[in-house]
Chains A and B, each alone.
Chain A
Amino acid sequence: MIIHHPLLGPRDASEFVYLGDASLMNRPNPKSETAADDFYSYQYLRDNPMGEHRELWYHEQGDRSWLVVTRNTLTHDITKVELARDVARAQK
C-alpha cells in the first residue's frame, strides 16, 4: 500500500506502524461520573466496518507524524490522509 503523507508525499506502507481506529483520539473525560464505563468503551469496543474506516498510522521510519488515514477496508482504497495533530486540534 502507498500512503500519501500530507507533508512527504507518497510513502510505502512499510514505513508506517499501524495502530487502529482513529476513535482512539477521543479520550474520554477522566473526571466524568461515567469515566469508568467511558474508558472501558474507549479502550475495548471498536467498530469493524466493511468499507470506509478512519485509522491511525505512525510514520515511524520517517518524520514520526501520526496520520489519520481514511481507508476502505474492502478495497484498500485510501481516500484521505490527514495529520492527526490537525485532526485533534479541529476536534477541540
Chain B
Amino acid sequence: MSLIDTTKTLNFTFNGKAYQGFEGDTLASALLRNKVRIVGRSFKYHRPRGIMGAGSEEPNALVEIHGAGTCEPNRRATTIKLFEGLDARSQNHMGTLNFDALAINDFMHPFLASGFYYKTFMWPKAFWEKLYEPVIRRAAGLGTLSKAVDPDSYDKGFLHCDVLIIGAGPAGLQSALNLGLGGKHIILADDDFRMGGRLLSETYEIDAAPALTWVEQTLKTLESLPNVRLMPRTAIYGVYDHGIYGGLETTTDKIGIAKPRHILWRIYANSSILAAGATERPIAFANNDRPGVMLASAVRSYKNRFGIELENTALLTNNDDGLRTDAAHIFDTRNGDYVMDVGGRKGVRSVTLNTGENVAANHLAVSGGWNPNVHLTCHKRGRPKWDEALSCFVPDTHTLPSDMSVIGAANGKFSTHGAFMDANDICEKLGVKASELPQTEDAPVKISAFWHVKGTKRAWVDFQNDVTAKDITLAHQEGFSSVEHVKRYTTLGMATDQGKTSNVVGLAVLADAIGQSIPETGTTIFRPPYTPVPIGAFAGTHRGQHFKPTRLTPSHKYVAENSATFIEAGYWKRSQWLAREGEKGWRDSVDREVLMTRNSVGICDVTTLGKIDVQGRDAGKFLNKVYVNTFSTLKVGKCRYGLMLREDGIAMDDGTTARLSETHFVMTTTTAKAGPVFRHLEYVRQCLYPDMDVHLISTTDQWAQYSVAGPNSRKLLEKIVDPKFDISNEAFPYMACGEITICGGIRARLFRLSFSGELAYEISVPARYGDTLIREMMHQGEAFDAVLYGTEALGVMRIEKGHAAGNELNGTTTANALGLGGFVSKKKDCIGKVLSQREGLVSEEALQMVGFIPVNPKDKLTNGAHFIPKGTAPSPETDHGYMSSVAWSPMLKTYIGLGFLKNGQNRLGEVIQASHLMGNSHVDVTVVSPHFFDPKGERLRA
C-alpha cells in the first residue's frame, strides 16, 4: 500500500523534457518512476550521479527549480513535493547532463587530489588573480544564481510552546500524542510534507494493523487538539540560547500564488524533544557513486511509500536492518561477502564481488548502518559519544542543550518499540501520564562495522564534494591527523548536506589510516543550519523600502510639493535642496537658498534634531554632569549651547538646551546621535547617579520644529506669534526661549537660536500642527520673499560661520580640537573631563579646528584632503591634519573649508598644501579663522 494517489496525475519537466508523476510523489520519486537515472553531475569530477537517498540527506540529486527571478538552486529533489507544472533542471554541467564537457576532470583525477588548489596554483604569483581564480570560480559551485530580483514573498513568524517536538516518526508522534492529550501546548515539526517518518517507508505493524493506520489515527487525534500545532514541511535548522529554535517552513514551491514561499519561524520552547530519527550511511567501495547505487532505506522508501519497484536490485549490507530490503542478490559483509567495484558509467550494470565474480544488477542497495541525527544536540557545543555496540555516535546526555531530550532512533533506540518506550518515558518525566504502549516490532540492532573496501580505485565518501577515501588517506600522509584539519583540507562534510551521509564514514577511514579508534579520532562540530536556508527567508518582508523604517517630518508633504530632493539622515528623509524652474544643478538651488536666507528670510525643517525633555529637582545638576559647561546656573527663559563628551574625553554630541522652568529643560541633540545620546543619558542617570531627582523622555516625534533665519525672520514671526507675546530684540534677545501661543492660541515654543549666523529663531509646535505651520509661515512670508532651504544650504551657512557639525564631531575630536576648550568648566566634574586632559589630547601638536581658503580663488577644495607643508611629499610623516568640511560660499565667492591642523590656532596666515591623493588634487590654502562670515556675530544679535 503506497502513499501515492495514482488517480491524480501531475505534469512536470526535467531539463525541458515533459514527464508525469502522481500526487504524493517527490521530484525524486517521480524521476525514478520515469526511469531517469542521471540527475546531476558531481562537484569536482563532473561524474554522472543518480538519486541516492529519499530525504534531506540526499547528496547527489540537487536541482534548480523555476526560472529567472524565481529560480532556486541547490534544492534536493528528494524533498520537493511534486506539483503540476514543476520546472526543474540539473546543475553543474557544461553542455548537456548526458555529455558534460567538464567530465574531463574525471580523467584528470590523479592531479585533482585533496589540496590540489593549494599545491598547484601557487606559481607564478601574478597568475592567481588574472588566470587561475577566474577559471576556478567559473568551474566551481553547484547551482547558479539568476542575479534577477526575486519576485516571491517570504515571511517570518514567532511561535511559543511548552514543548517543541522535532521529528514526526513513531517517537515524535507518540510523545506528541501523550503531551497533547496531557494538555501541553506543543509544536510538532517535521521536514517531510507527510508525517510518520520511517513508518511511511517500512512495512511494520502496530497493534496488529499496518503502521500507517496507527499514524493516521494519531494524526487525526492530534489535529483535533487545539493545544497542538502540526508543522509539516518545517525543518528545525538551528538550536539557539535559552530555548529558541529556528524553523524553515517551505509553505509551497509553487509560484505566482499569494502565499509566501518560505516562512522563517523563531520558536520559543520551554523544552524540546529531539525525535529526528537516523540517517543510513553508505559503504565506500570503488565507483560507489554510480547512478543506481542507493541507500537500502531509500530503496525501501521508493518501494513502500512511492510504489516504485527498482528492477534487478542487489544488496550490500553489514547489518540486519539492511536485510529488510527486497533484493535479487544479497551480499552480507558479516559473511565475508562484499562489493569490490561497480560496472556501468551512467548507471549500474553489474557489481564485482571480492570473489572476483561479476553479478548483473541495475541497482545496488547499500546499508552501512544508521547514524542517529545528533546534529541539533551539537549546536550549543554538545559532543556526541561513540557507541561501540551500535557502531554510531549517540547523544551524550551530559552535553545536551539544557532543555532538550533526545528519544527514539536519534537516541540510538532503533526499533519502533524502543521509540515508543522512549516517548512514554520522556512524557512521564515532563509530568504527563503516558498512554498505553502500542505493540510493535522490537528488532535488536545486529551490526558489524564495515566502512571501506580498500582497493586501487576511487571509493566515494563525500558524494557532494567529491571526497574519496584516498583523499582522506592522502591528507593523513601529508600530516593532517586532526579531523578538523582533514575536513578543511579535503572539504569532507563541507557541502550543502553538511556531511549527513559522509562524516562518520570519513572519520572511520581517517581512524583506520591513523591506526586508532573512531572515538579517539573525534568528531567534527555540527553548526546551524541543519538544512540550507534561503537568504530570502532570512530577509522575510524586510526588503526594498521595507528593509528599514522611514521617518518623515511633518513638512514632508509640503516640501515634496515644492520639488525637494531628499537625503536620508538615519531613518529620516530630509530635504537636501528645493529646485526651482530654470536651475541647472543642485549648486544653483543651494546658492539661491543661502542668498535669499541671508538677504531676507529662510525656513528649514529641523524636526529631526533629537529633543529630550529633562525634568526634576536635580535636572540642572544632571546636565552639569553630561555637558562640559554649566547648566545649573542657566536662567529660566534662556538657552545655552552645550558640548557633551564621552568618558574617554572625545566629543560625543552638541546642541542647545533651553530652560523652561527651574525644574524643566529641553535638550536638543544632533539628528544622528538622538538615540545614542538618550541611551547615554539614561546610563548616567540610572547607573552613575541613581539618586538624582531627574527624569528623561524623548520628544523628538512629538514636536515639529522649524528654523526661521534671516534679517526678516522677526518680522515674519510677528505675523504668526500671538500679539500678547513680545518678541522684540529687547524683550526676546539672542538665546532667549519661551512658551508662547501662535495663530490665535496654538501652543508653541520659541527659541532664539542661530546656526546660520543670522537673526534667527527655532519655533516648535505639537507635531500635528507642523504641516499647517510651515504653510502658514510660507504664506505670511510671501511679503518677504521667504525661501525654503534644505540641508545643503544649512551646511553652507554653518561652514561660513565656522560651526562644527557631524563631520567635525566625528568620534576622534576633543573639545580643544573643536576650539571649545574654553567651554570646559574648571569648577565642576563632568563625564569625560579627566581623560580629556590627557597629554596627547592637549599638547601643542594636537589637532585644532581652523578655516581654509584657497590661495587661488579659482581652486576647488576637497573634503578629506590632507594638509602637507609646502615643498614636501605627502606621507604619514608629513601629514599635518585633514579637511573635514568644504563648501562654496556664495557670500564670499570662494570655496571655504573647515579642517583640523596640528597647532592650527597658532598657524593662522600660513600657506599649506591640501592634498587629496585619490583625486590627485593639490591646492595651496591659507590657514584662517574658521569664522568666515560676520566674525563678530552682529547679525545674529540684531
Interface of A with B (CB < 8 Å)? 1-2, 17, 19, 24-25, 27-28, 30-31, 35-36, 39-40, 42-44, 56, 58, 60, 64-66, 75-78, 83-85, 88-89, 92
Contact = CB atoms under 8 A, between A and B. Distances in A.
B683 A39 contact: no
A84 B691 contact: no
A4 to B, nearest CB: 9
Given A2-B268, A56-B687, A84-B687, A36 B837 contact: yes
B834 A1 contact: no
A30 B829 contact: yes
21 contacts: A1-B242, A2-B244, A17-B679, A19-B683, A25-B688, A27-B688, A35-B834, A39-B647, A43-B835, A44-B648, A56-B683, A56-B687, A58-B679, A64-B682, A66-B683, A66-B687, A84-B687, A85-B687, A85-B690, A88-B686, A88-B690
B498 to A, nearest CB: 23
B243 interface: yes
B241 interface: yes
Interface string B671-683: 0000100010011
Contacts of A24: 687
Contacts of B648: 43-44
A25 B687 contact: yes
Contacts of B837: 36
Given A43-B835, A76-B242, A65 B686 contact: yes
Nearest to B684: A27
Contact of B679 (A35, A60, A83): A60
A77 to B, nearest CB: 8
Contacts of B44: none
A88 B688 contact: yes
A86 to B, nearest CB: 8
A78 B687 CA distance: 20
Contacts of A25: 687-688
B833 interface: yes
A92 B691 contact: yes
In the A-B complex, the 4 residue pairs with the smallest Cβ-Cβ separation, listed nearest first, are: A2-B242, A88-B690, A30-B829, A39-B834
Contacts of A30: 829, 833-834
A78 B244 CA distance: 14
Interface in B824-852: 829, 833-835, 837-838
Chain A facing B: main interface SS: mixed
Given A30-B834, A36-B834, A43-B835, A76 B241 contact: yes
Contacts of A60: 675, 679
Contact of A1 (B241, B647, B675, B690): B241
Contact of A84 (B241, B679, B686): B686
B242 A78 contact: yes
A55 to B, nearest CB: 12
A37 to B, nearest CB: 10
B745 to A, nearest CB: 34
Nearest to B646: A43
A78 B833 CA distance: 35
B28 to A, nearest CB: 38
A44 B687 CA distance: 18
Contacts of B683: 19, 56, 58, 66
Contacts of B690: 84-85, 88-89, 92
Interface in B210-249: 240-244
A89 B835 contact: no
B689 to A, nearest CB: 8
Contacts of A75: 380
A35 B463 CA distance: 65
A75 B400 CA distance: 11
B682 A66 contact: yes
Given A58-B682, A85-B686, A88-B686, 12 more contacts: A1-B244, A2-B243, A30-B829, A30-B833, A43-B647, A56-B683, A56-B687, A58-B679, A60-B675, A66-B687, A75-B380, A89-B690
Contacts of B688: 25, 27, 88
A78 B647 CA distance: 28
Contacts of B268: 2
Contacts of B829: 30-31
Contacts of B647: 27, 39, 42-43
Contacts of A40: 835
A81 to B, nearest CB: 12
B828 to A, nearest CB: 9
A30 B268 CA distance: 46
Interface string B507-547: 00000000000000000000000000000000000000000
Given A2-B268, A17-B679, A66 B835 contact: no
B688 to A, nearest CB: 5
A43 B832 CA distance: 10
Contacts of B380: 75
Contacts of B679: 17, 58, 60
Nearest to A59: B682
A45 to B, nearest CB: 13
A92 to B, nearest CB: 7
Given A1-B241, A1-B242, A2-B268, A88 B687 contact: yes
Contacts of A92: 690-691
A2 B241 CA distance: 8
Nearest to A91: B690
A12 to B, nearest CB: 8
B443 to A, nearest CB: 39
A66 B687 CA distance: 7
Nearest to A74: B381
